[in-house]
Amino acid sequence: MLEYNALLRLFKQDFQAFLKSGKYKSISFKLSNEDIGLNEIISSPKARDFFEKYLCFSPQSYHPNDKERLDYFICAASRYSKKKINSELIEQYLIDDLNWPPENAKWCRKRIDVGLEILEANKKLHLQ
């Protein structure tokens, strides 16, 4: 996100200079928020609540109860999220904000990805 915004700032400066020299002056830019929190990553309050419950315990213990809580989140994300969950951002959040070891965050991301793929296939099966 930082690299994207830096590139966009440079483009914006150059493009605005171009616009001042011509007839186009009504174009606007929007920079993305660089501080992405869980609210932006998981937009559904219900799904986010399940993920926060998963995080409240000791999710890195890999106890069956922890896996089950993560699976509940995956089901809620599949059911209640209007936009696709970006598991890469979840992984980054776990590492950057919660100081998880990268291998644990990667495991969590993979389980989310596989779970969401399976549930998506199940939805398609029911539509046939």
pLDDT at residue 114, rounded to an integer: 97
CB 55 within 8 A of CB 41: no
Which residues in the chain show pLDDT less than 50?
none
pLDDT at 32: 64
pLDDT of residue 107: 97
Euclidean distance between CA atoms 46 and 85, whole angstroms: 13
Amino acid, res. 29: F
Q: How far apart are CA 122 and CA 119, in angstroms?
A: 5
For residue 57, what are its two tokens?
């315990």
pTM across the whole model: 0.73
pLDDT value, residue 31: 65
Domain locations along the chain: 1-34, 37-127
Averaged pLDDT of the chain = 88
29-37: Cβ within 8 A, 24+ apart? 31/5, 32/1, 32/4, 32/5, 32/8, 33/1, 34/1, 34/2, 34/5, 36/1, 36/89, 36/93, 37/93, 37/97
How crowded is residue 45: how many other Cβ atoms within 10 Å of its Cβ? 10
- The pLDDT tens digits for 46-61 are 999 999 999 999 899 8
